[in-house]
Amino acid sequence: MRIDIITVAPELLESPFNHSIVQRAKDKGLAEIHLHNLRDYGLGNYRQIDDYQFGGGAGMVLMIEPISNCIEKLLAERVYDEIIYMTPDAKTLEQSISNRLSLKENILILTGHYKGVDQRIRDKYVTLEISIGDYVLTGGELAAAVLCDSIVRLIPGVLGDETSALTDSFQDNLLSPPVYTRPAEYKGLKVPEILLSGNFPKIEEWRSEKAFERTQQIRPDLLDENI
């Protein structure tokens, strides 16, 4: 998989992509992530990328020309399965979206900044808009990092145990059950006996029950989606 990211602040993304699971995916040749500094496509001697919004109002808007020039250059080099814009005024990222995107070959991500991008960019190029929550960040870089991490970890061969991702929260619209590791007892706190029994059918039954209970207590809205 190849992911290209257009950003105003590429330095914000260097650390998240050079550690942990994403770095492992890159080392294995399973994922490529390329950062494109929008300022390289800025206008004039000062590499201008933003301007005041028509109609007045506070905040600057990323201009259409630098973004369009960057996207057109990338489109001339390859076909993208999705061109994604990270923005708070969009559908919230869900596990099913990450699952679907993990099957793509080429993804282009545009990160917003300031008051966002000229709407004509969204109308002309963007095929999918994603939010990571109902709040506003300074820019879309951190949101892009979240999206990339959620996608890359699902690529076959990235995780040591490929079945691990299949049991994560939200894969079946349920939260994950409680998990425990050694020691079996610590300062009077004990691991549930069922997990030490070796009876794997019963263990799976217990996990399913606990997953349902946790979801019912914390995220009952997920259960409504199963109805």
Reply yes or no on whether the pLDDT at 227 is more than 60: no
Reply yes or no on whether the pLDDT at 165 is more than 70: no
Reply yes or no on whether the pLDDT at 164 is more than 80: no
Domains of the chain (ranges; CATH) run 2-152 (3.40.1280.10), 169-226 (1.10.1270.20)
Whole-number pLDDT of residue 173: 85
Tens digits of per-residue pLDDT, 111-124?
Answer: 999 899 999 999 99
Bridge-based pairing state of the strands 60-62 and 50-52: antiparallel
Tell me the residue type at 147: L
Lowest pLDDT segment from 66-80, 90-104, 153-167, 202-216: 153-167
Tens digits of per-residue pLDDT, 115-158?
Answer: 999 999 999 999 999 999 999 999 999 999 999 999 999 999 99
Q: Please state the rounded mean pLDDT for residues 71-80.
A: 98
